[in-house]
Every structure is written in C-alpha cells, then in structure tokens.
Amino acid sequence: MDSKTVFSKIYLLFLYVSIVQAQPTVFDITKFGAVADGKADTSQAILSAWKEACAATGSSKILIPAGTFLSGVVSVEGPCKGGIEIEVQGTLQAPPDLQGEGWFNFDHVDEFTISGKGTFDGQGESAWKANNCAKDPKCKPMPMNFRFNFIKKGLVRDVTSLNSKNFHVNVLGCEDFTFQSFIITAPETSINTDGIHIGRSKGVNIIDTKIGTGDDCISIGDGTQNLKVSKVTCGPGHGISIGSLGRYENEEPVSGITVTGCTLTNTMNGVRIKSWPAQFGGSASDIHFEDITMENVSNPILIDQNYCPYGQCNDKGPSKVKISGVSIKNIKGTSASALSVKLDCSSGFPCENVELADIDLAYSGAEGPAKSECTNVKPTITGKLNPAGCQ
C-alpha cells in the first residue's frame, strides 16, 4: 500500500471520528421514566434529562418523542458544559390548574435551542375565565408557557405554543435570540395571552412566525434594543406594540426596532407605540415600521401617549416618555375604523422626527370618511397619505 493511499485512509478515519464526535448526545425522556399517557407527570423525567445533558461535554439533545406527555412546572438553569437542544416531536400538556409565573423556565443558558414539530399546550381555558389581573393587582399570577431569562445565543424553531394561560413567551435579559417558523395559537377571547413579550434584551429576531392570540402578537417592553421582526403574520390579536412605557420607575430606553414585511389580519390594532400619562419618564427611538399589509385592522397606525386601560392611571398630566426617530413607510390595506392613522403624542414631550411615507389604507364603513389625526407631532410626509390629514 503506497503512502498516498495510507494518508487517504487516515484522513477518512479522522473525518469519520470528527463527524461522530460532532453528533449530539441524545437524552430521551422516556429513558428517564416519562410515559406518553397524558396522565403521569413527566416534569421530573425532563429535569433528570436536563441535569445529565447540562453536565455532558459537547452538544446534547433532550428528546420529547411522539405522544402526549403531561408536565408540571419545569425550571432549569445553566451554565451548562455545552450547547443543549430540546427536540419536541410530541405534545406537552400543562395541568389545567397549574399555578405560578412560568411553565417552562430557562435561566442563564448559552447556545440553547428548542426545535421540532411538537406542541406546548398550556390548556389555558380555565385560567382565562379566572384571570382578573388587569383589574386586580393582588391577583394570583397565571403561568406563561415559556420564560427565557438571560439566554445567550438562543433559538426557538418550528414548535407550537398553544393556549397559554398567560403570555405565551416572555424574553428577559437575553442576547442574540431568534424565533423562526414559530407558531403561537390561542383564541381571540383569551385574556392577556401576548404572543412574544420582549424586555431588556438585545439582538432578538422574530422571523417567519405565525401568531394568533387574544392580546398583542408581539409586545416590546423597556430596555429592548436591536429587535428585528420580519415576515410575521398576526391575527387575531391586538397587533404589534411597543409598550406600554412609562408605567414604572427606572425604565430603560427602547431603541433600534425594525418591523418589516408583516401581515396583520382582523386585529384590534396594527403597529402601535403606547405610553402611560403622568407617570414616569422613558424613551423610544430609532423605530421603523415598513412594508406592512393591514387586512380589516382597527387602528392600523397608532401612537397613544394617553394609554390608560381600566382607568388605572393618573391621567392629569402628559406622558413623560419621549418618542423620536420613527418611520412608518409603505403601509397598505384596509382599515376597520375611519381613524386609520392616529398619532397622539405627549404635550409635555412632543414626538420628534416622525416620518409617514406611502400610506394607503382604505375604509368603507359607516363612520364617515376616513381620516388621519396628529396631536403634538409634525410628521414629515412623503408619497401618498391616504387618508389625508396630519398636515
């Protein structure tokens, strides 16, 4: 055997070994006692699989195979020795009477992925009937389907979040986190079921995602920076919202928000920035809504700096939140209300550097001719503005 042949065989051997080593170690929850009968609590099996996966060197995969698994609260944290993926092929169901703030809680984990065609079913119907948190600050918290806290390099891909008891997803303190081909589903009547809520996080991406729920499809809280939302379909729901801001002390600035190529259908609002009057300061800047289709949307374009749900605020003074650097371009479709464009900015801190370009929203209801209305703001208008106004 010549040296060239020997070298080729050695190279192929090393290549094979490297490929084998690159394959993640799989931890199937059924090997830890999980039973797909929809009755036995599998949370301990998931926690045991996580413990071993987190301690393993190299990449690891926790497998939720086909079938229906009942699971109580799962709370895990890093750091782990390598990247971890949870692949969900089946359905995980929360008990109808589950309590607490979160169902699946992930803290301080780097290089973390949730994937698969499976479903996280929060079984939220009983919780929605009992949810009065919007009116009663002493209410018991309802669990969200997912809480991601302080994750770096996270990915949620292909899975479905169904009927969460509260928000479907809460993202806090995360960096470089992507949602792709993610599905969120709950009925229009479900209470407080925001799709994805982001706060104090940097570099979050929401791509090719379908959200239908009973509250904001995407809600953007204080401290959110460099968020990109692209090709998201929203409806039913309350639209894509920045805020509410200014309700609490020491809120962090919101900046670098880009929402492009989205479609909103039969939603309560379209694209919205909202802040509370007369409370605390804050800012929202460098915000861009572009290439968005509205289909029968109430309040398609809305800045509301007098946001005061259920009369819970002191509305005797203007909002202290400063909004600036906002562009709203190429928004087309149909409005379910005559007031298609409403920019209601603060009299104490008027909006600055707001641009409206190529807005074409048709209205054919009984409220009279369509109109735009602007208060405490002088937007730059280019191209078409239909309905006219705001000059």
Q: Give the pLDDT confidence of 61-75 residue by residue, as tens digits.
A: 999 999 999 999 999
Q: Is the pLDDT of residue 20 over 80?
A: no
Give the chain's count of helices (H) and strands (E): 3, 32
The percentage of residues in the chain with a pLDDT greater than 70, rounded to a whole number, is 92
Closest CA to 185 of 253, 143, 124, 110: 124
**27 contacts 33 by C-beta, under 8 angstroms:** no
What is the phi-psi region of residue 39: left when phi exceeds 0, alpha when psi lies from -120 to 50, beta otherwise?
alpha
pLDDT-derived band at 4 (thresholds 50, 70, 90) equals: low
Which two three-digit tokens encode residue 276? Answer: 């509370």
Q: DSSP code of 55? A: H
* Cα(246)–Cα(281) distance, integer angstroms: 6
Which two three-digit tokens encode residue 390? Answer: 């705001």
Q: Is the pLDDT of residue 3 over 60?
A: no
Backbone angles phi, psi at 193, to 5 degrees: -100, 55
Backbone angles phi, psi at 337, to 5 degrees: -135, 155
**Is 288 part of the annotated catalytic residue set?**
no
Q: Is 252 helix (H, G, I), strand (E, B) or coil?
A: coil
Selecting among 168, 197, 238, 288, the annotated active-site residue is 238
Q: Give the pLDDT confidence of 259-318 residue by residue, as tens digits.
A: 999 999 999 999 999 999 999 999 999 999 999 999 999 999 999 999 988 777 766 789
Q: Is the pLDDT of residue 244 over 70?
A: yes
Report the range out of 121-130, 322-331, 367-376 with the highest average pLDDT.
322-331
Following DSSP, what letter does each residue of 141-186 receive, concatenated?
PPPEEEEEES-EEEEEES-EEES-SS-SEEEES-EEEEEES-EEE-
User: Taking the CB of residue 220, how many other CB atoms lie within 10 A of it?
Assistant: 27
| pLDDT computed for residue 290 by the predictor | 98
Chain-centre distance for alpha carbon 304 = 21
Query: What CATH class has 100-386?
Result: mainly beta
| pLDDT, average across residues 149-156 | 98
Closest CA to 389 of 365, 374, 377, 372: 372
Closest CA to 178 of 200, 151, 212: 151
**356 contacts 328 by C-beta, under 8 angstroms:** yes
Which two three-digit tokens encode residue 328? Answer: 């709203």
Give the H/E segment covering residue 8.
helix 3-22
| pLDDT computed for residue 131 by the predictor | 75
Give the CA dihedral 67, 68, 72, 74, nearest 10 degrees: 30
Q: Is the pLDDT of residue 250 over 60?
A: yes
Mean pLDDT (the chain, rounded): 92
Tell me the domain boundaries of the chain.
100-386
What is the phi-psi region of residue 340: left when phi exceeds 0, alpha when psi lies from -120 to 50, beta otherwise?
alpha
* Cα(363)–Cα(340) distance, integer angstroms: 8
Following DSSP, what letter does each residue of 100-128 receive, concatenated?
SSEEEEEES-EEEEEESS-EEE---HHHH
pLDDT-derived band at 15 (thresholds 50, 70, 90) equals: very low
**194 contacts 243 by C-beta, under 8 angstroms:** no
